[in-house]
Structure 1
């Protein structure tokens, strides 16, 4: 493939770093954002999604193991179960709704966390030219301990004019 992605950097927002009224509200939740650069022109979004799935940064279990270049897990799923076809296009409003509902599920997030989420998450959603959401893949796609995540929300944000692909995961354990 002519369109290899280069990892430019990551941002990690750990809810434990903020003060909630109810200490259980952070519930070991976080947002992980991986920014990748696309130097070439892909034929289509499916090609960019395939390049992302092949990238070593995709091999992250989001449960403390970090990125394993030869890893077999992606979040709660086996990497082999993820393909461009399992992503669905959604609008910015739907992405906003999913993420705010997840973030505020126990109580409204503190103001400083809301500010960080706006800058790092929601502004990126607003700037994306295309938003893909990883749909639930079912029990057969779960890896051996994939049920550790209560919620797993994954978005791929494509901004062709900037040559950027962003992998945004909001999850917990």
Structure 2
């Protein structure tokens, strides 16, 4: 199914683009969103996760290099160690709790940022049929310079009614 996923669009929310009371409290925080079209007759969640992991858009170290079609890193992890079984199915409530906790860990955020996050992140969480969260894979899975991220939260949203799988990464470095 890997070749049946089609990259449709991407969005990037950079917290530095917004006016904070104390900009130092937010450092280099961002959300990267990749949408891929899934075929109408797609498999179960495990098959979709495997297809996503196999897709070139998944080969992103999220450290400035962008998508590397021949890359062997994914975020802070060695790509070969990211498999469908390291994802945990989570509820909308749990995923929203994790993300809002990360967003607001240093206090309130500007209204404009909150509105953009609501539209690009939280409305998509609410619409998803299934949400999967990449669990921490442990020290042995972290690549040679993978500790550049202080926090790294990854969710995969499956929205069959929209015919879309969304890779959502919220991190800071």
Q: Deviations over 1:35-67 (max 9, x none)?
A: 000124233110000000000000001111100
What SS class does the counterpart of residue 96 from structure 2 fall into? helix
Q: How far, CA to CA, are the matches of 2:95 and 2:45 in structure 1? A: 18
Shift of 1:20: 0.8
Query: Is the 2:75–2:146 contact (alpha carbons within 8 Å) kept by the matching residues of 1?
Result: yes
Alignment of structure 1 residues 104-119 onto 2, 5 Å: 104-119=104-119
Shift of 1:3: 6.4
Q: Are residue 151 (structure 1) and residue 148 (structure 2) matched?
A: no
Shift of 1:115: 0.4
What SS class does the counterpart of residue 19 from structure 1 fall into? coil
Aligned pair count reads 173
In structure 2, what is the equivalent of residue 141 of structure 1?
Answer: 141
Query: Is the 1:130–1:157 contact (alpha carbons within 8 Å) kept by the matching residues of 2?
Result: yes
Query: Is the 1:3–1:38 contact (alpha carbons within 8 Å) kept by the matching residues of 2?
Result: no
Which aligned runs of 4 or more in structure 1 are off by greater than 6 angstroms? none
Q: Which moved more, 1:24-33 or 1:121-130?
A: 24-33
What SS class does the counterpart of residue 95 from structure 2 fall into? helix
Query: Is the 2:2–2:54 contact (alpha carbons within 8 Å) kept by the matching residues of 1?
Result: no
Alignment of structure 1 residues 60-99 onto 2, 5 Å: 60-99=60-99
Shift of 1:23: 1.6
> Which structure 1 segments of 5+ residues have no match?
none
Shift of 1:164: 0.6
In structure 1, what is the equivalent of residue 39 of structure 2?
Answer: 39
TM-score normalised by the chain length of structure 2: 0.97
> Which structure 2 segments of 5+ residues have no match?
none
Q: Deviations over 1:116-135 (max 9, x none)?
A: 00000000000000000000
- Taking only aligned residues, the RMSD between alpha carbons, in angstroms, comes to 1.1
TM-score normalised by the chain length of structure 1: 0.97
- Cα 1:2–1:100 shift into 2, 3 Å: closer
Q: How far, CA to CA, are the matches of 2:48 and 2:41 in structure 1? A: 9
In structure 2, what is the equivalent of residue 6 of structure 1?
Answer: 6
